[in-house]
């Protein structure tokens, strides 16, 4: 028995020494992967910008790589337009869902509704894309006469539906972290449950809620299949959501799957657009971390 106990202790010590090394290896692989992606994007983008002026790329409004026009502004505007529509849809729905789950739903209801809500995050985005094209767009066409079959409105709405679980789940976690003593104190002063939710819980969980919204924006900026299928491929510098637009990710798909010659200017343009998208999403992630640290409440 003593020998067996010593053997179990020895095995336990080996596992305890091995686990931190495995975790460190996973962290190193993640960091190296990020640097590898960034290195590849920058290397190919530098080649592109040696052929096309970076000022022309970011300031002109004509985008037609196959005709020699490399003004990326229409793609940026299309991306921001779809993202804006998505956030108009996702923020109210996500926050309302989070408030209900955190402040109103019983444990039994929460255990049923939250997993069902999070199932939305597991649906393939290509399914969302065809859902937008074949279901949402016909409904919008019956409401808005003359709406194009490919349009930013339909794509933005469905992107918003897709990111609702992200806002709802992260916001609910932030609200659940608020101590119950704050709720009980507000109710003792005569506040209603809605007043407690809106005037006590929401301000206390503000850092987590804003961080979830910023992360959702980052997710919407990088969405590919929905906008590729439903928004069309027309690089138009417009704020009209009823028109067809092309986003940064949609061009990457178009350029990567089309008749693009390796080493051509169009080939390198894919990486330049990728760097632009990388900067947008990186900025959103950094902003989310800053907000979380800046407005975090300590209890």
Say if residue 108 is in the same domain as residue 6: no
Say if residue 187 is in the same domain as residue 112: yes
**Whole-number pLDDT of residue 47:** 86
**Whole-number pLDDT of residue 299:** 56
Axis crossing angle, helix 248-257 with helix 73-99, rounded to the nearest 10: 120
**Whole-number pLDDT of residue 11:** 63
Q: Residue 23 above 70 pLDDT? A: yes
Please compute the mean of the pLDDT values over residues 160-175 and round it to a whole number.
88
Say if residue 141 is in the same domain as residue 283: yes
Q: Look at residue 42 and tell me if it is in a domain.
A: yes
Q: Look at residue 145 and tell me if it is in a domain.
A: yes
Say if residue 42 is in the same domain as residue 123: no
Say if residue 22 is in the same domain as residue 141: no
Nearby residues of 191 by Cβ (< 8 Å), 6 or more positions away: 199, 200
Q: Where residue 243 sits, what CATH number does that domain have?
A: 1.10.3720.10
Which pLDDT tens digit goes with each residue over 184-213?
888 888 888 888 888 888 888 888 888 888
Say if residue 45 is in the same domain as residue 103: no
Radius of gyration of the chain (CA): 24
Q: Look at residue 263 and tell me if it is in a domain.
A: yes
Which pLDDT tens digit goes with each residue over 124-135?
888 998 899 889
Total of domains in the chain: 2
Q: Look at residue 187 and tell me if it is in a domain.
A: yes
CA distance 233 to 149: 12
CA distance 125 to 134: 14
Say if residue 225 is in the same domain as residue 86: yes
Say if residue 196 is in the same domain as residue 68: yes
Say if residue 204 is in the same domain as residue 237: yes
- DSSP H helical ranges for the chain: 2-49, 54-59, 73-99, 107-119, 125-131, 137-143, 152-176, 180-188, 193-196, 202-204, 206-221, 225-230, 248-257, 265-294
CA distance 187 to 195: 9
Q: Look at residue 299 and tell me if it is in a domain.
A: no
Say if residue 27 is in the same domain as residue 76: no
Q: Residue 288 above 80 pLDDT? A: no
Say if residue 180 is in the same domain as residue 238: yes
CA distance 107 to 89: 27
Residue 90: pLDDT band (50, 70, 90) is: very high
**Whole-number pLDDT of residue 3:** 61
Say if residue 6 is in the same domain as residue 132: no
More confident residue, 187 or 92: 92
CA angle 31, 26, 15 (to 5 degrees): 155
Q: Residue 118 above 70 pLDDT? A: yes
Q: State the chain's maximal CA–CA distance in angstroms.
A: 83
Name the one residue in this structure whose structure tokens are 């490919």.
150
Residue 12: pLDDT band (50, 70, 90) is: low
User: Which structural domain range is residue 36 located in?
Assistant: 2-50
Q: Look at residue 232 and tell me if it is in a domain.
A: yes
Number of Cβ within 10 Å of residue 50's Cβ equals 10
Out of 52-56, 183-187, 292-296, least confident range: 292-296
């Amino acid at each position: 028995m003593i020998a067996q106990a010593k053997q179990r202790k020895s095995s336990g010590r080996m596992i305890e020494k091995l686990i931190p090394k495995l975790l460190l290896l996973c962290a190193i692989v993640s960091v190296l992967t990020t640097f590898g992606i960034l290195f590849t994007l920058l290397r190919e983008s530098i080649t592109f910008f040696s052929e096309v002026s970076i000022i022309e790329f970011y300031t002109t409004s004509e985008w037609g790589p196959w005709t020699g026009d490399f003004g990326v502004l229409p793609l940026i505007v299309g991306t921001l337009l779809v993202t804006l529509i998505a956030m108009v849809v996702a923020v109210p729905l996500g926050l309302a869902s989070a408030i209900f789950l955190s402040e109103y739903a019983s444990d039994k209801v929460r255990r049923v509704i939250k997993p069902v809500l999070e199932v939305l995050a597991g649906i393939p985005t290509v399914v969302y894309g065809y859902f937008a094209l074949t279901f949402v767009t016909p409904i919008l066409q019956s409401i808005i006469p003359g709406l194009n079959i490919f349009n930013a409105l339909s794509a933005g709405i469905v992107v918003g539906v897709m990111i609702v679980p992200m806002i709802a789940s992260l916001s609910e976690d932030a609200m659940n972290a608020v101590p119950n003593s704050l709720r009980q104190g507000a109710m003792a002063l005569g506040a209603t449950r809605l007043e407690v939710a809106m005037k006590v819980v929401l301000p206390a969980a503000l850092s987590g809620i804003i961080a979830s919204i910023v992360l959702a924006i980052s997710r919407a900026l990088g969405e590919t299949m929905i906008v590729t299928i439903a928004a069309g491929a027309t690089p138009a510098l417009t704020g009209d959501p009823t028109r067809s637009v092309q986003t940064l990710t949609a061009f990457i798909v178009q350029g990567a799957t089309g008749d693009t010659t390796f080493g051509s200017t169009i080939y390198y343009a894919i990486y330049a657009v990728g760097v632009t998208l990388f900067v947008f999403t990186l900025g959103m992630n950094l902003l989310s971390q800053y907000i979380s640290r800046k407005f975090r409440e300590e209890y």
